[in-house]
Amino acid sequence: MKKYSVNQSSKMLERAKAVIPRGIFGHYGFSVREGNPNFFSRASGSRFWDIDGNEYVDMMCAYGPMILGYNHPKVDEAAHKQYERGNTVSLAGSVMVELAEKLVDTVVGMDWALFGKNGGDATTLSAMIARSATGRDKILKIDDGYHGVTAWMQDSRPGTIEADRESVISVPWNDLGAVETAIQENPDQIACFISSPYDHPVFRDNEMPSADYWPSIERICREHGIVLILDDVRAGFRISLSGSHEHFGFKPDLICFGKAIANGYPISALMGTEEMKREAQKVFYTGTQFFNASPMAAAKATIEVLLESDAANLMTDIGNKMNAALGSVAESNGFKLVTSGIPAMPYYRIDEVSTQTHFAWVDECVQRGLYLLGHHNHFVSTAHSSADIERACEIADVAFRAIVENGQISLKTA
Ligand SMILES: Cc1ncc(COP(=O)(O)O)c(C=O)c1O
């Protein structure tokens, strides 16, 4: 199995660098590596093709949005029909109301929805509503918790200032004691607690909540008048279509959705309880493109297809099969592939070897047609099939043999 040639991608990256800072920017920039593809030419189902014509089994699903497979006919049809009727018009489309109704019917405990474009719109708005509701400034989050690129959420990176982070307190994941201490040290100052349903940092195994974590967080938030925000932007609809809180047994006040909500069409949503509605009505947050009707039609169709196909369970099943199959391939080559996170969003790590070795294996996979990332969790869609699992295993097997033959094995240092 020969490695792919990516000459066209490399040339296009050089062109990009002349007119776009870094060439490929933001989180897509992290996957730019020697020998790997940079630009796609088309996508369909569970696969994409790069501009050199190479085909990939896509285990990143565009970092999550692709949940039903690229170019899903029902979603595309709904989006195109709405586009023909009107997309960005001087009035909102009635499809906005239909989508909000669909979300309220689907997501347990939520009574309303507001819409934005990116996950960060939903998380930013959620914090504003929490601050308005409580009259408090501070945001309590998890150490590695990622909620978008708004300044309050960034580490000390260029372009941000200390004041952006002044009101943000962060605590380790799964540490209820740290949450209690933060509240004691900041009495009546914490507006909200925001977290993903489980911990999915980069470069580290993903970690599920301990059995009592979420019910305890809910109790603590209620005791101290803190708004409980579930950031379901990444995991939303891949654990439960009713919302990840249903799976983990707690009741948030606000839930942020993004990524998979419209199978790739640009829309995100913030949902909330009746009690939060009064504050949501007061807070001003908007954008020129927030009322685009076509992504709303796509989101409605996506949710309908997800519900019809019992998608969360289907993706869990496919993810479990993919993880077991790749695990066997690793074992037959003398390695142990550690899988963490939910089956529909697996994070992979080769046990006991260095990060460089793990990345070398990932590169060998990518350069033969299995699109993985070394530092980030992966995503399963309902379009992934047993043919994808088989193809992934063939490639992973060759990749394991390649890193041994190339002498790329180094052990993890303590
Ligand atoms: C948990 C979580 N919240 C918020 C965001 C921000 O979403 P977006 O990049 O669409 O603004 C992300 C993006 O990866 C995320 O994973």
DSSP collapsed to 3 states, 269-322: EEEECHHHHHHHHHCCCCCCCCCCHHHHHHHHHHHHHHHHCCHHHHHHHHHHHH
Query: What are the boundaries of each domain within the chain?
Result: 7-70+311-405, 73-308
Atom of ligand 1 nearest to the CA of 148: 6
**Across all residues in the chain, what is the average pLDDT?**
97
- Over residues 288-302, the mean pLDDT reads 98
Residue 414 pLDDT > 80: no
Question: What letter represents residue 227's amino acid?
Answer: V
C-alpha pair distances (Å), 140 with each of 45, 192, 331, 363: 39, 6, 41, 37
**Candidate of 259, 268, 285, 375 to mutate for ligand 1, largest count of ligand atoms within 8 Å of Cβ:** 259
Distance 369 CA to ligand 1 centre (A): 26
Give the right CATH number for 7-70+311-405 from 3.90.920.20, 3.40.190.10, 3.90.1150.10, 3.40.50.200: 3.90.1150.10
Task: Report how far residue 233's alpha carbon sits from residue 147's, in angstroms, rounded to the nearest whole number.
Answer: 8
**Candidate of 27, 146, 229, 268 to mutate for ligand 1, largest count of ligand atoms within 8 Å of Cβ:** 146
114 CB contacts (<8 Å, ≥6 apart)?
Answer: 125, 269, 270, 280, 285
Phi/psi at 290 (nearest 5 deg)? -65, -20
Taking only the tens place, the pLDDT of each residue in 341-351 is: 999 999 999 99
Task: Report how far residue 105's alpha carbon sits from residue 84's, in angstroms, rounded to the nearest whole number.
Answer: 27
Of 53 and 156, the structure prediction assigns the larger pLDDT to 53
Task: Report how far residue 348's alpha carbon sits from residue 203's, in angstroms, rounded to the nearest whole number.
Answer: 10
Distance 414 CA to ligand 1 centre (A): 31
Copy the structure tokens of residue 292. Answer: 């685009």
Q: Are 270 and 130 in contact (CB under 8 A)?
A: no
> What's the CA dihedral at 28, 270, 297, 98 to 10 degrees?
170
Task: Read off the pLDDT band of 110 (50, 70, 90).
Answer: very high
Q: Are 69 and 383 in contact (CB under 8 A)?
A: yes
Task: Report how far residue 277's alpha carbon sits from residue 280's, in angstroms, rounded to the nearest whole number.
Answer: 5
Q: Name 171's bridge partners.
A: 142
C-alpha pair distances (Å), 271 with each of 81, 153, 172, 251, 345: 26, 20, 26, 12, 23
Residues near ligand 1 (Cβ within 6 A): 118-120, 123, 146-148, 196, 231, 233-234, 258
Copy the structure tokens of residue 123. Answer: 């998380």
Copy the structure tokens of residue 293. Answer: 């009707």
Protein residue whose Cα sits closest to atom 16 of ligand 1: 234
Residue 410 pLDDT > 80: yes
pLDDT for res 151: 87
Atom of ligand 1 nearest to the CA of 121: 11
Write out the E strands in 296-401.
337-340, 347-350, 370-371
- Over residues 109-128, the mean pLDDT reads 98
**Candidate of 233, 265, 268 to mutate for ligand 1, largest count of ligand atoms within 8 Å of Cβ:** 233
Task: Specify the residue for token string 């932007």.
Answer: 233
CB atoms within 10 A of CB 245: 23
To the question of pTM greater than 0.75 for the whole model, the response is yes
Q: Name 141's bridge partners.
A: 170, 194
Find the helix or strand (DSSP H, E) in which 406 lies.
none
pLDDT for res 26: 94
Taking only the tens place, the pLDDT of each residue in 265-289 is: 999 999 999 999 999 999 999 999 9
Distance 217 CA to ligand 1 centre (A): 22
The answer to whether 7-70+311-405 and 73-308 have equal CATH topology is no
Q: Are 145 and 235 in contact (CB under 8 A)?
A: no
97 CB contacts (<8 Å, ≥6 apart)?
Answer: none
Task: Read off the pLDDT band of 154 (50, 70, 90).
Answer: confident
Q: Any idea how long the chain is?
A: 414
Q: Name 47's bridge partners.
A: 44, 57
CB atoms within 10 A of CB 265: 21
- Report the SS3 class of residue 370: strand
Task: Read off the pLDDT band of 44 (50, 70, 90).
Answer: very high
Closest CA to 110 of 264, 269, 308: 269
C-alpha pair distances (Å), 409 with each of 33, 55, 371, 397, 406: 19, 28, 21, 15, 8
CATH number, span 73-308 = 3.40.640.10
Taking only the tens place, the pLDDT of each residue in 352-363 is: 999 999 999 999
Q: Are 57 and 369 in contact (CB under 8 A)?
A: yes
Distance 148 CA to ligand 1 centre (A): 5
Protein residue whose Cα sits closest to atom 7 of ligand 1: 119
State the DSSP string of 124-139. Answer: HHHHHHHHHHH---EE
Task: Read off the pLDDT band of 413 (50, 70, 90).
Answer: confident
Share of the chain above pLDDT 90, in %: 97
Task: Read off the pLDDT band of 197 (50, 70, 90).
Answer: very high
Protein residue whose Cα sits closest to atom 3 of ligand 1: 147
Taking only the tens place, the pLDDT of each residue in 377-409 is: 999 999 999 999 999 999 999 999 999 999 999
Distance 64 CA to ligand 1 centre (A): 10
State the DSSP string of 4-61. Answer: PP-HHHHHHHHHHHHHSTTSS-GGGGGG--TTS---EEEEEBTEEEETT--EEEESSG
Atom of ligand 1 nearest to the CA of 259: 10
Atom of ligand 1 nearest to the CA of 118: 10
pLDDT for res 152: 86
Protein residue whose Cα sits closest to atom 8 of ligand 1: 119
Task: Read off the pLDDT band of 198 (50, 70, 90).
Answer: very high
